[in-house]
Each structure stands twice: as structure tokens, then as C-alpha cells.
Structure 1
Amino acid sequence: MAVKQIGIVLFDGVEELDAVGPWEVLAWWTHKHPEDGYAVTTLAPNGGTVTCAGRLRIEAEHAFADAPALDVLLHPGGRGTRPLCRDEPYLDWICEQSRTTSLMTSVCTGSLVYAAAGLLRGRPATTYWAAVGELKRLDDTIDIRADDRFVDDGDVVTSSGVSAGIDMSLHLVARLAGTERARETRRGIQYDPEPPV
């Protein structure tokens, strides 16, 4: 059985937890249960090291050009999404991925990139609470679900800000491998938030 690839996009200005939170969920699951047939990897436009929004530096495993074919794409947010929304070659790559992957997902302002690429036209979606206006300006046909932690619209799943990417990633595990697997993963990473304030 061919392994299905989940790719997390990295770029300069990516919000750390937008990428690393989903990585923790998906890596725990795929490493613990390779028999489920999925693997997770990272990719950046030119490969190599990216500098995140909080100055953490992360090295992508692949450049876009040498990345494996993806079954699932996860696009994080962060301040670095704004220039990507105006980068036509980048948006073309996003559109190409939407034609070849079975599932496009985003965290936080990653949905702005999807909106700029036209992927959210006429669809329900969410984003970081402070970016709702930007999302509306990019495409006023989007049915914005500002109060939802994540929105599953079949082949596109968007989540709200930062920590919501962990919730969405657990939802992806449930979609791809079942509820019990997602519960095991949640327990494995000891994710059971009870905000202290």
C-alpha cells in the first residue's frame, strides 16, 4: 500500500504553533500507527530554513519542486501570509495542489491564502478572529463562521487561530483513521485544555 502524504507548508513569517501544533498531532498519530498508511512532512517554496513569526527557525524537509505528491495539504497562518496573498506564482501552486490533493486544510490566516487563490468562493470558512475583515475583503462570497474552531466543508477544512489548528488536526485524524484513533492521539499528546484564566 502506498503511503499517503500529509504536507505542512512552511514559509517566512509562519506562526509557530499553526505549524508545530498540527505537526505534533499528525506526527504522533503517523509514527505510532504507520499501518494507517499516512506520513507527515514539511515543505517550503525553496526548501531549507524558514524564520517563523516569533523568530524560531525551522528547516523544511522539501522544496515545492521536490516534495512528494500530497494527499493532504495543511497551510498555516502568520504574518507571512499577507505577501503570499499577492504572490501569483505561489497562488498558482496552491490552485494546482487543490486539483491534485484530496484535502486542503488551513490554520488561522492560512485561509487568507486560500481565499486569494479563489478556493473559498461561496463556501463556509473561518480564520483568526482579528482577520475576519481581511477574509471578507478578499472574497465577500465566503460564508464566514467566525465563532467556529474549525469548518469542515468536505475537501476544504479551515480552522480559526493558532491553537485551533490542534483541534482541526485531531478532527483530521478522526476523518482519516477514525474517532478512536483521534482519541488515542489526543491522550498521547495529553491535550485536554482547561484555560486557567
Structure 2
Amino acid sequence: MRRIGVVLFDGVEELDAVGPWEVLAHWTRTHPEDGWDVTCLSRDGAAVTCAKGLTLMAHHSFADAPALDVLLHPGGRGTRTQLHDGEHLDWVRRRRAEVPLMTSVCTGALVYAAAGLLSGRPATTHWGSLDLLSELDLSIEVRPDDRFVDDGDVITSAGVSAGIDMALHLVARLAGTERARQVRRDIQYDPRPPV
């Protein structure tokens, strides 16, 4: 069984975590034959309070999480303290050494940049944080117009709803385009903004 881990932390933007979770959990539970599972982890394994007040429970702590094949780091106001949290940045660097595919949503890319994961690579983040992404590492090729950027073993995505697009891209990459289309149809993801 291959595993995807979604990082949870106080101040995580709800949809950054729950949007991709919806895509990935629907896929893995509806199509177990694909051999993937998705789980959530927080530093201590406890519940977190999201940016808008929603409480989410983790399945694992960082210490007892299973080996992962994909790590998804969401964004949110909680990432601002992580940029200066040596323990968290070291944890991210250790995951980079053992997790084949690192992904981020929104300002999760800032954490990856602060940890040195995006040096010399193309990347994106929420439009309001593009300048900060560049400031964190001048060698990053910032892609302001991309919903997500797939650079092989690192995928970054823009703000909030772009994480759903990135998660569907991830399903397509891991299980094929037709599977991703099935998941998209099942969850009725067909954005038509009313305004």
C-alpha cells in the first residue's frame, strides 16, 4: 500500500487541506485496487484548529506516521510561524530525503522555500504571497499564472481551490487520466463561479 500524507497544523487553511483530501480520499476509498491510501498527520497527533475555526483531527503524529510516498503541505496563516520554526523546517527537510513526491497548496510553498526545497526550481503559491516566495529564495522561478507547477518530484499549487486541481492532477499522475476524470465527475467538481 502506497500512502499520501496531508500535514495539519494550527492555522492551516481549511480548503487547502480538505479540498485535496476530498479528491484523494474519494479516489483511494472508491478505487482501493489502485493501491493507495491517504492519511493526515500533525506534529503531536492531536487535533488542530484551522484558520477559520474548523477543528480537524490527525490520524498520526509526525513521529508515528507511516512511511509516505507523497507528502502534501497545505498553506494558511499557520505557515507564517513555520517559516521561522527550525524544528518544522528540519522535519520538512528530512521528509524530502525519504518521500519521493513533495506537494504543496497555497503558502505551503513558502515553507518548502524556507526549507530550501525549491532552490533553482519553478514554483507557485497564492497570488498574495508570490513576492514573499521570491524573497525567500531568489533562485526560484516564480510562476504567477500557473494553477499548479509539476516539477517532477515537487509539485506546488496556487491558493485554496488550486489545491483541488493539483490533487486531481496527482490522481492522473499516479493512476491515470481516466481515473482522475472519474473522481472529478464523482465529486461533481466543475467550477462555474456565479460571480
**TM-score, normalization: structure 2?**
0.99
Partner of 1:67: 65
Q: Summarize the alignment of residues 93-108 of structure 1 with structure 2, pairs less than 5 Å apart.
A: 93-108=91-106
How far apart, in 2, do the equivalents of 1:180 and 1:102 lie? Answer: 23
C-alpha RMSD of the superposition = 0.5
Helix, strand or coil at the partner of 2:116: coil
How far apart, in 2, do the equivalents of 1:64 and 1:109 lie? Answer: 20
Partner of 2:166: 168
Q: Summarize the alignment of residues 91-170 of structure 1 with structure 2, pairs less than 5 Å apart.
A: 91-170=89-168
Identical-residue share of aligned pairs (%): 69
Partner of 2:189: 191
Alignment-mate amino acid for residue 183 of structure 1: R
Q: CA deviation at 1:139?
A: 0.6
Partner of 1:181: 179
Helix, strand or coil at the partner of 1:53: coil
Q: CA deviation at 1:194?
A: 1.1
Helix, strand or coil at the partner of 1:86: coil
**TM-score, normalization: structure 1?**
0.98
Segment of structure 1 superposing worse, 133-142 or 153-162? 133-142
Helix, strand or coil at the partner of 2:93: helix
How far apart, in 1, do the equivalents of 2:156 and 2:80 lie? Answer: 17
CA offset digits 1:62-89 (Å, max 9, x no partner): 1000000110000000000011111111
Q: CA deviation at 1:133?
A: 1.1
Helix, strand or coil at the partner of 1:66: coil
Q: Summarize the alignment of residues 78-93 of structure 1 with structure 2, pairs less than 5 Å apart.
A: 78-93=76-91
CA offset digits 1:106-161 (Å, max 9, x no partner): 00000000000000000000000000111111111100001100000000000000
Partner of 1:37: 35
* Structure 1: tracts of 5 or more residues without a match: none
Q: Would you identify which runs of 4 or more consecutive aligned residues in structure 1 move more than 2 Å?
A: none
* Structure 2: tracts of 5 or more residues without a match: none
